[in-house]
């Protein structure tokens, strides 16, 4: 589920920030000038004359980074040299003092922006009992931090930062980082802060566009009680409202426990999903209760009579194109990573796109897939169908009817406040001491979500993290509870990795894949937190199978997501209809190659159903990467104290991903441990 990526535009500094620049020929960076090298050498010679024993490599990195950012609007070449001589800090104590002062100020600024952003989006993120006003959407799309970067360059703080804490490439971090101290890693992450200059207007456009996409998905509800089969029967309870795709998927999973009509329900949900992806779904049935719909025939009825109902007009793909064009508009200002694909992978994940594609493709093509599929067929007693990509039978909860679990969760958590009050006790069940559980729990606030839910972390000490999950008037059902436990995992990580971090610039974890992995650790323990013990002697084997099958599903989804973005970059002027046609083609081709031989039905488009494709661009690869990390973490934690170890792991901070993994578990991220566990 989504976490702080919901505010990633407001805090984009975490991935290597961005600021305004006039890109006209009169205002190019000094790096574009013919005398650039002469200017750099002149500056370095002056620094050498001033500081005996100058740290030449660091000084040159800083001078070059400032020169790459400095334009004529910032001052003349002479002003550039004078600036470097005035603000360069050579001595270690003075540099550490500067680092501490900058961290304090950035925590105040960025933490305050985060708090304002949280409040501006509150009417559209929280279920307050009132529908948002039109102005709430406008204010929710406003990026309060958009001018932060402009201002930091205008007052020269950005240049002071870049000069004294230059950035390091991913390759340099990977090769040198193992030998760096914690302080040096703090310096390196501060060096990621000012590496490009993006206009505030562009930032605002991105923020508004992604907020609009989020709002589109947050209101994409299917009224399940209004669905009808060919006999005119309602298979789902009146009033059941499921958000696409998360709740639809979870409802499909829950019906493996229904041996009477579960299969029929699953087939109906699968048909609904295909209608959504193909934009064949009647617009009238989205978020509406006043008509009935037969997904199989696509016929709509009102008061017992069939009515004409036009399909949703490719809105899904228009929203996706809006995202692409907004994020593409940033490309001109990020020459080191001149596409959103590069920024998402090399910049954000710190794994290359090709590395991720290769890893995922090898996994979903492995012989272990067929072995696990045969086991699932045996357990189900039937041939697999496409929706069995979400088979949930390896989880212990699948043998417990969901209505029984919902009865428990509604009794325990009738509202958001009840879950909030219970958090310290939940942490104690996971092995945290009473004092530590109370400390962490006191820094998390629970809200009823308008959408599916997410975790929103604090960005400065003194603020609380926020947990959002959907809560019905009758209380928190099991689906909402399961999501809440996942988001709770995010919040615990967000809290510990902020409040217990030695250096502010290291707060958090390497990327969102690690965040998801750590949240999965909590989510998998949701039944234990309800007091339901896992008694299966095959628990470890079932856990490996469950994570493996989940990776098989979501890796395909992520590969479709990547291929769609590659296609959009190759076809930037496409229409929504053309994009739809090619999304369906991409999804079907991958399905036919790696899924149809296992799950049947050629040309299924179901790999394109994920809502994150629409409202959280190129986020999906973080999920399977997170599952791989989760599996290795679970193996490591098996014979260790859960609370002590994850607290230690949370405190590692934002190291390079593979270095973080080595220090957390002793091994780098790989598909091999999971393939081996399933194949044994």
Is-contact 501 646, C-beta < 8 A?
no
Is residue 257 within 8 Å of 398, Cβ to Cβ?
yes
Long-range contacts of 631-634 (CB under 8 A, 24+ apart): 631/544, 631/547, 631/673, 631/674, 631/677, 632/661, 632/665, 632/667, 632/669, 632/670, 632/673, 633/517, 633/518, 633/521, 633/664, 633/665, 634/521, 634/524, 634/543, 634/547
Measured between alpha carbons, how far is residue 261 from residues 234, 237, 406 in Å? 11, 13, 19
The pLDDT of residue 1: 45
H-assigned helices in 524-666: 526-529, 539-570, 576-594, 596-599, 612-615, 622-637, 642-650, 657-665
Summarize pLDDT for 76-117 with one digit per residue, the tens. 999 999 999 999 999 999 999 999 999 999 999 999 999 999
Confidence (pLDDT) at 583: 98
pLDDT at 396 over 80: no
Q: Which two tokens stand for residue 56?
A: 């030449």
For the ranges 8-12, 287-291, 526-530, 553-557, the lowest mean pLDDT is seen at: 8-12
Q: How far apart are alpha carbons 502 and 418 in whole angstroms?
A: 33
What is the C-alpha separation between 648 and 646, in angstroms, rounded?
5
pLDDT at 551: 95
| From 51-55, 470-474, 500-504, the region with the lowest mean pLDDT | 470-474
Which range, of 39-48, 178-187, 512-521, averages the lowest pLDDT?
512-521
Give me the pLDDT at residue 200, please: 80
For residue range 665-679, what is the model confidence (pLDDT) as tens digits?
999 999 999 999 998
For residue 398, name the pLDDT band (cuts at 50, 70, 90): low
Burial (Cβ within 10 Å: 0-12, 13-18, ≥19) of residue 231: exposed
Average pLDDT over residues 282-310: 97
Classify strands 444-448 and 465-469 as parallel, antiparallel or unpaired: parallel
Q: How confident is the model at residue 548 (pLDDT cuts 50, 70, 90)?
A: very high
**In this structure, what DSSP letter does residue 241 have?**
E
What separation, in Å, do the N-terminal and C-terminal C-alpha atoms of the chain show?
31
Q: What is the pLDDT of residue 203?
A: 85
Rounded to 5 degrees, what angle do the CA atoms 422, 424, 427 make? 110
pLDDT value of residue 536: 67
- Model confidence at 11, pLDDT cuts 50, 70, 90, reads very low
Please compute the mean of the pLDDT values over residues 578-603 and round it to a whole number.
97
Supply the pLDDT for residue 451.
Answer: 76
Q: Which of 199, 213, 204, 190 has its CA nearest to residue 6?
A: 213
Which three-class secondary structure string do you get for 154-171? Answer: HCCHHHHHHHHCCCCCHH
In this prediction, residue 147 carries a pLDDT of 87
Angle at which helix 539-570 crosses helix 622-637, to 10 degrees, equals 160
Residue 577 has pLDDT above 60, yes or no: yes
Omega before 460 cis (within 30°)?
no
Is 555's pLDDT higher than 50?
Answer: yes
Residue 533 above 90 pLDDT? no
Q: Which two tokens stand for residue 670?
A: 């790989």
pLDDT at 399 over 80: no
pLDDT tens sequence across 254-284: 999 899 999 999 999 999 999 999 999 999 9
Of 401 and 269, the structure prediction assigns the larger pLDDT to 269
Residues 510 and 656 sit within 8 Å (Cβ to Cβ): yes
Nearest Cα neighbor of 523 from 627, 601, 621, 609 is: 627
Taking only the tens place, the pLDDT of each residue in 199-232 is: 888 988 999 999 999 999 999 999 999 999 999 9
Mean pLDDT of 560-566: 98
User: Sheet containing 444-448: which strands, arranged edge to edge?
Assistant: 444-448, 465-469, 453-456
DSSP notation for 359-378: HHHHHHTSHHHHHHHHHHHH
Mean pLDDT across 459-475: 93
Query: Which of 193-197, 356-360, 448-452, 636-640 holds the top average pLDDT?
Result: 356-360
Please report, rounded to a whole number, the percentage of residues in the chain having pLDDT higher than 90: 76
Query: What pLDDT was estimated at residue 240?
Result: 96
426-455 average pLDDT score: 94
- C-alpha of 352 from chain center: 17
Element holding 48 (H helix, E strand): helix 36-50
Alpha helices of 381-509 — where are they, by DSSP H?
402-412, 416-429, 434-441, 478-499
Alpha-helical segments (H) within 219-258: 246-254
Least confident of 109-123, 162-176, 235-249, 491-505: 162-176
Give yes or no for a contact between 562 and 341, defined as CB atoms under 8 angstroms apart: yes
**Of residues 174 and 182, more confidently modeled:** 182
Q: Is pLDDT at 407 greater than 90 in this prediction?
A: yes
282 bridge partner residues = 311
Averaged pLDDT score across all residues of the chain: 91
């Amino acid at each position: 589920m989504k976490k702080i990526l919901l505010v990633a535009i407001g805090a984009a500094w975490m991935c290597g920030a961005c600021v305004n620049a006039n890109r006209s020929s009169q205002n190019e960076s000094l790096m574009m000038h013919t005398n650039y090298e002469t200017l750099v050498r002149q500056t370095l010679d002056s620094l050498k004359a001033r500081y005996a024993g100058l740290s030449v490599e660091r000084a040159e990195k800083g001078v070059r980074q400032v020169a790459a950012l400095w334009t004529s609007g910032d001052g003349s070449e002479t002003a550039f040299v004078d600036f470097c001589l005035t603000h360069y800090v050579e001595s270690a104590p003075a540099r550490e003092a500067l680092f501490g002062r900058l961290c304090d100020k950035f925590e105040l600024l960025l933490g305050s922006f985060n708090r304002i952003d949280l409040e501006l989006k509150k009417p559209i993120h929280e279920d307050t009992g009132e529908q948002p006003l039109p102005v709430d959407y406008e204010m929710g799309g406003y990026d309060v931090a958009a001018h932060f970067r402009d201002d930091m360059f205008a007052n020269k703080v950005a240049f002071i930062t870049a000069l004294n804490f230059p950035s390091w490439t991913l390759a340099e971090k990977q090769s040198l980082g193992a030998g760096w101290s914690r302080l040096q890693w703090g310096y390196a992450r501060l060096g990621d802060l000012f590496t490009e200059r993006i206009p505030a207007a562009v930032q605002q456009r991105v923020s508004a566009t992604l907020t609009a996409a989020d709002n589109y998905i947050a209101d994409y509800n299917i009224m399940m009680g209004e669905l009808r089969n060919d006999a005119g029967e309602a298979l789902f309870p009146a009033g059941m409202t499921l958000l696409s795709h998360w709740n639809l998927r979870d409802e499909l999973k829950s019906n493996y426990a229904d041996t009477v009509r579960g299969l029929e329900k699953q087939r109906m949900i699968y048909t609904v999903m295909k209608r959504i992806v193909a934009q064949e779904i009647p617009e009238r049935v989205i978020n509406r209760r006043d008509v009935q719909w037969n997904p199989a025939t696509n016929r709509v009825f009102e008061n017992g009579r069939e009515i004409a109902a036009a399909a949703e007009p490719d809105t899904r793909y228009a929203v996706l194109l809006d995202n692409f064009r907004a994020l593409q508009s940033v490309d001109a200002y990020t020459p080191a990573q001149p596409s959103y694909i590069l920024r998402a992978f090399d910049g954000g994940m710190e794994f290359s796109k090709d590395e991720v594609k290769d890893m995922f493709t090898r996994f979903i093509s492995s012989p272990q897939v067929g072995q696990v599929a045969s086991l699932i067929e045996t357990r189900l007693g039937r041939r697999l169908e496409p929706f069995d990509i979400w088979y949930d039978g390896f989880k212990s909860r699948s043998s417990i009817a969901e209505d029984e679990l919902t009865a428990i969760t509604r009794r325990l958590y009738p509202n958001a406040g009840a879950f909030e009050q219970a958090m310290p006790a939940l942490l104690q069940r996971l092995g945290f001491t009473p004092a530590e559980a109370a400390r962490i729990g006191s820094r998390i606030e629970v809200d009823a979500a308008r959408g599916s839910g997410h975790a929103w972390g604090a960005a400065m000490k003194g603020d609380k993290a926020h947990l959002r999950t959907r809560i019905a008037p009758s209380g928190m059902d099991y689906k909402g509870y399961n999501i809440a436990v996942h988001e709770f995992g995010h919040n615990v990580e967000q809290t510990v990795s902020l409040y217990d971090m030695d250096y502010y610039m290291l707060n958090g974890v390497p990327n969102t894949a690690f965040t998801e992995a750590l949240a999965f650790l909590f989510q998998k323990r949701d039944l234990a937190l309800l007091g339901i013990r896992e008694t299966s002697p095959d628990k470890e084997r079932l856990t490996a199978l469950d994570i493996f099958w989940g990776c098989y599903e979501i890796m395909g989804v992520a590969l479709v997501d990547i291929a769609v973005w590659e296609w959009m970059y190759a076809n930037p002027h496409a229409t929504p209809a053309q994009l739809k046609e090619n999304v369906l083609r991409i999804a079907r081709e991958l399905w036919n190659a790696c899924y149809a031989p296992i799950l049947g039905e050629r040309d299924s488009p179901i790999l394109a159903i994920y809502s994150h494709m629409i409202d959280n661009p190129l986020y999906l690869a973080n999920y399977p990467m997170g599952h791989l990390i989760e599996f290795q973490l679970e193996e490591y934690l098996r014979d260790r104290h859960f609370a002590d170890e994850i607290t230690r792991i949370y405190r590692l901070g934002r190291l390079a991903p593979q270095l973080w993994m080595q220090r957390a578990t002793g091994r780098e991220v790989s598909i091999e441990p999971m393939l081996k566990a399933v194949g044994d």
